Structure 1
């Protein structure tokens, strides 16, 4: 799994030093699933030094979130990311998708995750991920669950699963508790795992070092490890996000 230090964080998710150093940019905000979100502004930066376009994230008339990867001039492509203006802690994080994420190009990554602010921890710590990605390898599993430790030196823990949806709708969640993180994915839009795709629990004995315990913002991002091998733009629809403390 690729991890590079991020060069951007939404204003609500940055420490004071980051705010003072950041250039003045008028942030675009969205209202989605009853929450306020900040859109990553136009620019270039990690992961994988992608280009980012604020116009590639929007909410439609039905209240659904759209994330796009679009072609720029030359062989450049533009990605999208949003981050919640609220930090969330222990509870159930549920993401309902209306897109065939099982058919993503091998170079496309869709991330649904929380991510530490500077006061919580460094990059490659604390993060809890659900990612749809083959990381450039067409033979790899598409569904990735990853838990990043509180102590960076311990390294991530995770599991991958094949993904073959029976339609456009799927639900994915992680249940974050002090001693474990449980990940689930199911066909359709349901609040349980009645048509299971995957179910994995991470419950280490040294949970205090391996499971995050501080509230963090939630991120959605759609980006590339390399230009799409099929040379096609991408659009993902996220119908709803819910958080239950």
Structure 2
């Protein structure tokens, strides 16, 4: 009788584990023991599904699938609301910051796929270089804080600072677009970085083809050599509301990688 009970429990655990590890429409067989490649030790317990991502909202836009962040998280310990991103009838992505449910809500999209070298391009059709001083627009790739390539439009709470930042984490940042720049209210700006093993070339280009900002990062130590997610976010510095108390809507026409 006792053996039958143990056998039944074992079968139930196997069924439960198989169900829990059904992910992305496939049931994977988990390797165990000492095997190749590399004659490594393989532990099936080293696989799990992130509970945040297993129930996450996914948005399809510009040929890619994006996971929408939710909850209270960084940057800035903000509230992140999946409903603050949507695609309009023209195929343009809207990112919103708004006040609902008693607090200000921000938005972030993280690519489902990981990428590496290539040219990354965003076309932002709305005004993007003169956002409220507490608002940051991020167009970037991210693996961790030491492997990150950023284009950020924001004033970081200081209205007298430059408005555009190109960053190669962890150590290098350059800034462009002063408050009195002729491009401060430009629309349809194209932002790019060309990520290669030996350099990253950043640009911001006006709709008339004029270069607003241009920078080469050539410090090999800081250039990421690992795959990363593409991320797009609109958020509040230190969770401080927009200084004018108004909601924000940034419209991105397209993203592509070549």
- Normalising by the residue count of structure 2, what TM-score does the alignment of the two structures yield? 0.76
- Cα separation, partners in 2 of 1:62 and 1:45, compared to 1, 3 Å: same
Following the alignment from structure 2 to structure 1, what is the Cα–Cα distance between the partners of residues 56 and 108?
A: 12
- Residues 104-146 of structure 1: per-residue CA shift (max 9 Å, x gap): 0000000000110xxxxxx421100000011000101110000
* Structure 2 equivalent of residue 119 of structure 1: none
Please, what is the CA RMSD of the aligned residues? 2.1
- How many residues align? The count is 210
Decide which of 101, 126, 140 is 1:99's aligned counterpart.
126
Cα offset, 1:25, TM superposition: 5.7
Matching residue of 1:78? 105
How far apart are the structure 1 equivalents of 2:47 and 2:82?
20
Distance in 1 separating the partners of 2:194 and 2:204:
12
Distance in structure 1 (CA, Å) of the matches to 2:50 and 2:235: 25
Q: CA deviation at 1:103?
A: 2.1
Q: Which residue of 1 aligns with 2:61?
A: 32
Counterpart in the other structure of 2:152 = 131
Deviation at 1:166, TM superposition (A): 5.9
Alignment match, 1:169: 188
Q: Within 2, Cα distance between the matches of 1:210 and 1:101?
A: 27
The structure carrying a bigger strand percent of its residues is: 2
Distance 1:197 1:89 in 2: 26
**Which structure's CA Rg is the greater one?**
2
Q: Distance in 2 between matches of 1:106 and 1:18?
A: 42
Q: Does 1:233 align with 2:247?
A: yes
**Contact (CA 8 Å) 2:128, 2:186: kept in 1 or not?**
no
Residues 34-183 of structure 1: pairs in structure 2 closer than 5 A: 34-41=63-70, 43-74=71-102, 76-116=103-143, 123-148=144-169, 155-162=170-177, 164-165=183-184, 167-183=186-202
The corresponding residue for 1:217 is 229
Counterpart Cα distance in 2 of 1:17 and 1:187: 48
Per the normalisation by structure 1, the TM-score is 0.80
Q: Which runs of 4+ in 1 moved over 3 A?
A: 16-25
How far did residue 167 of structure 1 move?
3.8
Secondary structure in 2 matching 1:102: coil
Structure 2 match to 1:5: none
Distance verdict in 2 for CA 1:218–1:19, change over 3 Å: farther
Q: Take 2:72 and 2:118, find their aligned partners in 1: how far apart are those partners?
A: 33
| Cα pair distance change 1:235/1:178, threshold 3 Å | same
Q: Flag structure 1 segments of 5+ consecutive residues without an equivalent.
A: 1-10, 117-122, 149-154
Aligned with 2:241: secondary structure? coil
Unpaired runs of 5+ residues, structure 2, are 1-22, 25-44
